């Protein structure tokens, strides 16, 4: 069997971290099995779908490195939906219903008031042709429902295990509005069947949709895909928070998060595998397996993401980041500075420390020591580990050691108390600037 997955966002807004995770898992699963990963734009809702959101979705996937093998668009397939809808209608699996939203709401309230589940009573199925014709002559346009049949609905979910639904406890779902526009359920099934989707990977908020959709596959004579419904993400507060819903690629990029960090975290979150700072997606792909996913909500923690991000930045090669670094910054400089970064953007800051100017105000009691340091720095061989030479000369000459030896030097040379390894930094600062900084301090 060829594995084909699809990520099917509705372009009514920007992708949030939960969507990004769904996209990633679809991609990982397809890659794991040498399959294909489709991007399907669910833009049946013409009013709420916007071109700019589609562009943003493509850009977000590109940033994450999740290149779709093909892109499909529901708005280009309305004729096909009409065709299959006509078949279902002829077979009596979709039927017109004429209730207004208010009438349906009233029915719901009455049932709930009696302590009964608010299941649609199928009153529309009882209408005769004449009654339907009369309603339509009066200008009432029907919406359309899919008629569920009575056989029990079962599937073995790749994450949730065996699932069973009783159609008697479900309402016939509305699949088409009175204005002819499509709701999500049926077009999705028609697409999944036509596009040979082998695995539908999505959030557990779709579980009850799957129950209806399985009957639609059967009614269309199509083999249903396998389903994996993943537990939703929660924020630190323990709930699917507003904040989580607002976190998208723009936010991550602005805060210096690398796509690899997002992949590393979202690829493993909710699984029994540890989150590891993979710079390359290969190990994530190899280990991706729905059997490793738990059913408990997975907690997305921005602090964990930042920590993974730092570990990834520490591994990034110069070539991979060069176009985001200051022009004159070299590979040696990147390697010296990298271990101190939590984001690539901070390299600019450290590079400005290297290039200067810097500000440092030495303590009174260090002035004589720094004058000696300036003299020593003029003598050493700058082509071979100048920091080791400088500090050992000063250790011998002044008797200082440890913090008393290193800190005044670091402060005078960088203007800061902490930072990258001085042995790596000093050659970048170079003789001229070092002499100037040490001299200026005296």
CA distance 60 to 20: 8
Q: Single out the segment in contact with ligand GLU by CB under 6 A; choices: 6-14, 155-163, 284-292, 374-382.
A: 6-14
3-state secondary structure of 28: helix
Residues 6+ apart with CB under 8 A from 101: none
Residue window 363-402: x/- pattern of binding to ligand GLU, with contact defined by CB under 6 A = ----------------------------------------
Query: Residue 99: what are its φ and ψ, rounded to 5°?
Result: -65, 145
Which one of 29, 85, 155, 184 is in contact with ligand GLU (CB under 6 A)? 184
Identify whether the C-beta of residue 18 lies closer than 8 Å to the C-beta of residue 203. yes
Q: Single out the segment in contact with ligand GLU by CB under 6 A; choices: 2-10, 232-240, 357-365, 434-442.
A: 2-10
Which one of 5, 14, 49, 188 is in contact with ligand GLU (CB under 6 A)? 188
* Maximum distance among all Cα pairs of the chain, rounded to whole angstroms: 109
Give 5 or 441: the residue with its C-beta nearer to ligand GLU.
Answer: 5
3-state secondary structure of 40: strand
CA distance 207 to 187: 17
Q: Does 42 bind ligand GLU (CB under 6 A)?
A: yes
Give 55 or 205: the residue with its C-beta nearer to ligand GLU.
Answer: 205
Give 182 or 369: the residue with its C-beta nearer to ligand GLU.
Answer: 182
CA distance 234 to 214: 28
CB of 43 to ligand GLU, least distance (A): 9
CA distance 194 to 83: 13
CA distance 28 to 19: 14
Q: Single out the segment in contact with ligand GLU by CB under 6 A; choices: 5-13, 276-284, 340-348, 368-376.
A: 5-13
What's the distance, CA 100 to chain centroid?
A: 39
Total chain residues near ligand GLU (CB under 6 A): 8
Q: Does 187 bind ligand GLU (CB under 6 A)?
A: no
Nearest to 302 by CA among 269, 279, 339: 269
CB of 172 to ligand GLU, least distance (A): 19
Q: Does 202 bind ligand GLU (CB under 6 A)?
A: yes
Residue 296 Ramachandran class (φ > 0 left, ψ -120 to 50 alpha, else beta):
beta
Scanning 33-128, the segments in alpha helix (DSSP H) are 51-64, 78-90, 101-113
Q: Show the CA angle centred on residue 206, arms to residues 159 and 264, nearest 5°.
A: 50
Give 25 or 147: the residue with its C-beta nearer to ligand GLU.
Answer: 25
Give 29 or 98: the residue with its C-beta nearer to ligand GLU.
Answer: 29
Residue with CB nearest ligand GLU?
A: 42
CB of 42 to ligand GLU, least distance (A): 4
Give 204 or 346: the residue with its C-beta nearer to ligand GLU.
Answer: 204
Give 147 or 202: the residue with its C-beta nearer to ligand GLU.
Answer: 202
Identify whether the C-beta of residue 244 lies closer than 8 Å to the C-beta of residue 301. no
| Structural tokens at position 167 | 């159609």
What residues between 249 and 278 interact with ligand GLU by CB under 6 A? none
Give 10 or 287: the residue with its C-beta nearer to ligand GLU.
Answer: 10
Half-sphere exposure of 252 (CA within 13 A, CB side): 27
Residue window 206-235: x/- pattern of binding to ligand GLU, with contact defined by CB under 6 A = x-----------------------------
Give, for 73, the enclosing helix (H) or strand (E): strand 70-73
Give 188 or 260: the residue with its C-beta nearer to ligand GLU.
Answer: 188
Identify whether the C-beta of residue 371 lies closer than 8 Å to the C-beta of residue 344. no
Residue window 8-27: x/- pattern of binding to ligand GLU, with contact defined by CB under 6 A = xxx-----------------
Query: Looking up tokens 């590891």, which residue turns up?
Result: 276
Identify whether the C-beta of residue 391 lies closer than 8 Å to the C-beta of residue 405. yes
CB of 174 to ligand GLU, least distance (A): 16
CB of 286 to ligand GLU, least distance (A): 25
If you compute the radius of gyration of the chain from its CA atoms, what whole number of angstroms results? 32
**DSSP assignment letter at 139:** T
Q: Single out the segment in contact with ligand GLU by CB under 6 A; choices: 3-11, 54-62, 100-108, 355-363.
A: 3-11
CB of 53 to ligand GLU, least distance (A): 12
Give 12 or 151: the residue with its C-beta nearer to ligand GLU.
Answer: 12
Give 11 or 142: the residue with its C-beta nearer to ligand GLU.
Answer: 11
Report the C-alpha dihedral over residues 329, 331, 332, 334, rounded to 10 degrees: 70
Q: Which residues would be at the binding site for ligand GLU (CB under 6 A)?
A: 8-10, 42, 184, 188, 202, 206
């Amino acid at each position: 069997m060829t594995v084909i997955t699809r990520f099917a966002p509705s372009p009514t807004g920007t992708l949030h971290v939960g969507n990004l995770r769904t996209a990633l898992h679809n991609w990982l699963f397809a890659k794991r099995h040498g399959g294909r990963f489709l991007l399907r734009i669910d833009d049946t809702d013409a009013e709420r779908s916007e071109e700019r959101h589609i562009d943003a979705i493509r850009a977000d996937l590109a940033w994450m490195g999740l290149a779709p093998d093909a892109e499909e668009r529901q708005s280009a397939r309305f004729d096909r939906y009409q065709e299959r809808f006509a078949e279902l209608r002829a077979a009596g699996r979709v039927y017109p219903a004429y209730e207004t939203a208010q009438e349906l709401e009233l029915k719901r309230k009455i049932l709930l008031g009696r302590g009964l589940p608010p299941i649609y009573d199928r009153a529309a199925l009882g209408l005769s042709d004449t009654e339907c014709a009369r309603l339509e002559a009066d200008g009432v346009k029907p919406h359309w429902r899919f008629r569920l049949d009575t056989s029990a609905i079962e599937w073995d979910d790749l994450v949730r295990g065996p699932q069973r639904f009783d159609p008697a406890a479900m309402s016939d779902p509305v699949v088409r509005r009175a204005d002819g526009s499509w709701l999500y359920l049926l077009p999705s099934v028609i697409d999944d069947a036509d596009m040979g989707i082998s695995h539908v990977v999505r959030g557990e908020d779709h579980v009850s949709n799957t129950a209806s959709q399985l009957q639609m596959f059967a009614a269309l004579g199509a083999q249903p895909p396998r389903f994996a419904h993943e537990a939703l993400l929660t924020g630190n507060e323990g709930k699917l928070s507003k904040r989580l819903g607002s976190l998208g690629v723009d936010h991550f990029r602005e805060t210096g998060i690398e796509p690899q960090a997002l992949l590393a975290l979202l690829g493993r979150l909710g699984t029994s595998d540890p989150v590891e700072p993979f710079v390359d997606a290969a190990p994530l792909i190899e280990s991706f397996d729905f059997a490793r996913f738990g059913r408990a909500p997975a907690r997305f923690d921005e602090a964990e993401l930042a920590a993974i991000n730092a570990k990834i930045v520490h591994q990034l090669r110069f070539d991979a980041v060069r176009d985001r670094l200051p022009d004159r910054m070299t590979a040696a400089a990147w390697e010296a500075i990298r271990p101190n970064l939590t984001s690539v953007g901070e390299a600019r800051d450290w590079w400005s420390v290297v290039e200067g100017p810097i500000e440092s105000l030495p303590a009174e009691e260090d002035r004589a020591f720094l004058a000696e340091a300036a003299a020593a720095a003029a003598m050493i061989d700058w082509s071979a580990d100048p920091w080791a030479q400088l500090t050992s000369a000063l250790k011998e000459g002044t008797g200082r050691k440890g913090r008393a030896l290193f800190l005044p030097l670091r402060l005078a040379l960088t203007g800061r108390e902490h930072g990258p390894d001085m042995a790596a930094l000093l050659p970048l600062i170079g003789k001229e600037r070092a002499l100037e900084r040490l001299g200026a301090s005296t």
